[in-house]
Amino acid sequence: MEGKRNRKRKATLGNLQDEKDDRIIKQMEKKLKLKRRKNGKLPQNFYDEGLGDILDVIDGRVNPGESSDEEPTLSFNDLRRKMNKTDQRNEVSEASDASAVESDDDNNEGNDRDVDQNESADDDNNCFDSEVDHTEGSEEEGTDESDVDEEAESNECEQKEDIYGFVRDKHGNVIHSDSNKIILPEKELDEQVVRRVRGLLNRITAQNINYVSGQIEDIFKTNSLYEVCQSVVKCITGLIVKEVCVSPQKLISEVSMLIAVLHNNVGEEVGGHVLHSLVKTLDDELTSSANQLESKTLDNIIALICNIYACNVINSALVFDILNKLCDLFNEKCIELIILILRFVGFVLRKDNPLLMKEFILKIREKASNSSSDSMRVTFMLETLTAVRNNNILKITADNSGLIAIDQQAVKSAMKNCLKGETNVNCIHGGYKEVLSSNRWWIKSGDLLELKKDDKMTNERKIQIDAQKLNINEKLCRKLRLNTPLRKVLFNALITSNDYLDASQRLLSIARKQAVEIVNVVLHVSLHQKEFNHFYCHLLRHLSEFDRKFKVAIFYALKDKISEMASLSQLQRDNLWKMTFELMKLNVTTINVLKVIEFSEMNETYSEFLKNILSSILNEDTESMQQIFSKIPKKDTFAAAIRLFICCFIDSTFKMNS
């Protein structure tokens, strides 16, 4: 009986060992990415190595020294079963011999011994039954695990990622998920690549950005895109994002321009990886409890993001999301960061999206009024917000803190020669959550599919809007009698500009050498305004400061307009004397422009024109009045004519001043 129990026990242990071997083999197959054949045959290299003869030896069909000519068609599972059967045969033969010897001894023992053996056999059978049940349960669990593994493998085979990063099923349809984050295997970066990138960043200046970007582009050509992007991110983070001190603003600006150039020349992956790393670090620092005022990590991250935004790598949505997140926290460190953002790009944000800027101003004021702390930081932040709202640039630049507002025009001019094929950097759109959600956030599968459907509609709308604008501009040109092509282009640039700085740049880019045409168009348009607009005065002042030939052109253009005053309407005459007075006050032209008027042949139109100008001059303070009248030569007949006109036609209150 003991031999029988041993045989059963060995059989169960053999089954358990087989199941364990099957699981190990499946794991190894999965790691080695070996796929079974559909027909269940062994691979050809199994026979090429001479291992196919083992199967015939196990079956007993061929002697160990012989080889089979027929090609066997057995699978891995058949091979394991045959090896297990041979082991069981050997075990059974050994156990039968032992049981024969034991049976002779058992026949000579008494009945009492038999009773005891029967009782013990019953107990052993109960134990064996429990072992069998356990093994059956383990076999079922093993089969379940194998089924789950097979289902997972089939799902992985059905879902594949294409070259654009979209996950597709076996039919080719895009599978939408909550996040398109692709977990890349962590591997150490090539130290040689990191060392080369760090050396180039250490030598960067505003003058050699083109050279440094070209060298990094060569590194991209000889190494993988992901590895070089991560190396750039690592070197920039180590160079700029420091905890002890604030990085120099000039260095941050130069590094951000380099990022913009690589973003444009190499691909959106460069700017996307840098922004993802910065926003992720920013979020970790804001969520951590240790948010000390002495740490400058957040200051450096915010400064770099603002400079990248000024280079047009990202749109304003990310900066506004950061402002709203800081406003929700509203502690002392967050107030400092809000002030920093407003001082860097507050006016740029106001220009790009004034509606969101207005909502943020209302939100921050409500937050400040509800807060119990009356600190100087909150007061200074509200003053900065007021300056941004009123477009008061001097309020911020007059501060002695050392921080200077980012000049977008200077940044664009510095990057102009470095960009390949484009005059502007390709802007990628994304908010705070989108940048933080994925390391490939700039690839939006759902948005791209929707944009493809709406491309035709948006293009048609753009064409219609452009056509409407062209029709309106053509009608205005006809009304103003601006018939030449050059004047039409100058007029279009003038009325579509954002401010006088933008208008001056557009006009100079169109006709830099034709100052007379620019001045004539500006004066002609300003005289036809229903209400006098100081925009044209500031524009002419800026042009005169740019080049002296504009000052001369303004002087003679005003003389021509004054001499043709009889043909002007009342509205145009009012705008003309206001324009002349403002230009005298801004020191763009002199009072000698009035010499064109013949005082001996004075009529009512010229008399009213002179009264308005001289009354306005005499109403000014003493310093401005002396500045205007000092331009008249002392021994000139024009001085005597002006004095006589003031005594005769101006009110008695101004006679003493004259």
* DSSP reduced 3-state for 212: helix
Integer Cα distance of 384 and 394 in angstroms: 11
The pLDDT score that the predictor gives to residue 321 is 92
pLDDT in tens, 516-528: 999 999 999 999 8
pLDDT at residue 504 is higher than 60:
yes
pLDDT in tens, 131-148: 444 444 444 444 444 444
Model confidence at 478, in pLDDT bands (50, 70, 90)? Answer: confident
Say whether pLDDT at 594 is over 80.
Answer: yes
Range in 206-215, 364-373, 445-454, 583-592 the model is least confident about: 445-454
CA gap 336, 332 in Å, rounded: 6
Query: Which residue is it, tokens 């484009």?
Result: 422
CA distances from 124 to 1, 16, 134, 135 (A): 10, 20, 15, 16
pLDDT of residue 176: 62
Residues 210 and 200: beta-carbon distance below 8 Å: no
| Cα–Cα distance for residue pair 622/619, rounded to 1 Å | 9
Between the CA of residue 76 and those of 56, 73, 453, 463, 644, what are the distances in Å? Answer: 14, 10, 52, 68, 121
Least confident of 246-255, 365-374, 443-452, 495-504: 443-452
Which whole number is the average pLDDT over 309-334?
Answer: 89
What pLDDT is recorded for position 211? 92
β-pair partners for 428: 314
In Å, the largest CA–CA distance within the chain is 163
Give Cα 583 to chain centroid, integer Å.
Answer: 45
Q: In the predicted model, what is the mean pLDDT of residues 177-202?
A: 72
pLDDT at 635: 75
Query: Per mean pLDDT, which of 13-22, 49-58, 147-156, 448-457 is the most reliable?
Result: 13-22
Cα–Cα dist 337/345, whole Å:
12
Least confident of 94-98, 237-241, 646-650: 94-98
pLDDT of residue 252: 92
* Residue position matching structure tokens 């992007």: 229
Average pLDDT, the chain: 75
Q: Confidence band (pLDDT; 50, 70, 90) for 291?
A: low
Cβ atoms of 24 and 113 within 8 Å: the answer is no
447 vs 304, residue with greater confidence = 304
Span of 54-68, 199-213, 229-243 with lowest mean pLDDT? 54-68
User: What are 85-130's pLDDT values in tens digits?
Assistant: 555 555 545 544 444 444 444 444 444 444 344 444 444 444 444 4
What is the token pair recorded at 118?
A: 């029967």
Q: What angle do CA 127, 131, 136 make, to 5 degrees?
A: 150
Q: So what's the pLDDT on residue 121?
A: 44
Ranges 29-33, 328-332, 544-548, 587-591: which has the least confidence: 29-33
Task: Identify which of 137-146, 159-168, 272-281, 402-411 has the greatest average pLDDT.
Answer: 272-281
Instruction: Give the whole-angstrom CA distance, residue 303 versus residue 246.
Output: 9
Is pLDDT at 446 greater than 50 in this prediction?
no
Is residue 160 within a helix (H) or strand (E), and if so which, with residue range?
Answer: strand 160-161
Enumerate long-range contacts of 494-501, CB under 8 Å, 24 or more apart: 494/521, 494/522, 494/525, 495/525, 498/351, 499/535, 500/535, 500/538, 500/539, 500/542, 501/409, 501/542
Mean pLDDT within 524-538? 90
Percentage of the chain modeled with pLDDT above 70: 67
Percent of the chain with pLDDT over 90: 18
pLDDT value for 255 = 93
In the block, tokens 């491309």 appear at: 455
The pLDDT of residue 346 is above 90: no
Among the residue ranges 68-72, 167-171, 324-328, 553-557, the one predicted with the least confidence is: 68-72
Q: How confident is the model at residue 289 (pLDDT cuts 50, 70, 90)?
A: low
Segment 429-449 mean pLDDT = 73
Higher-pLDDT residue of 43, 167: 167
Is a pLDDT exceeding 70 seen at residue 477?
yes
Range 332-346 average pLDDT: 87
Q: The dihedral of CA 245, 248, 251, 253: what is its sign? A: positive
What's the rounded Cα separation, in Å, for the pair 492 and 355? 26
The DSSP annotation for 161-206 comes to: E-TTS-EE-TT-PBPP-S-----PPP-PPPHHHHHHHHHHHHT--S
* pLDDT value at residue 455: 53
Give the separation between CA 123 and CA 400, rounded to whole angstroms: 95
* CA neighbor of 441 nearest in space, from 235, 234, 279, 228: 279
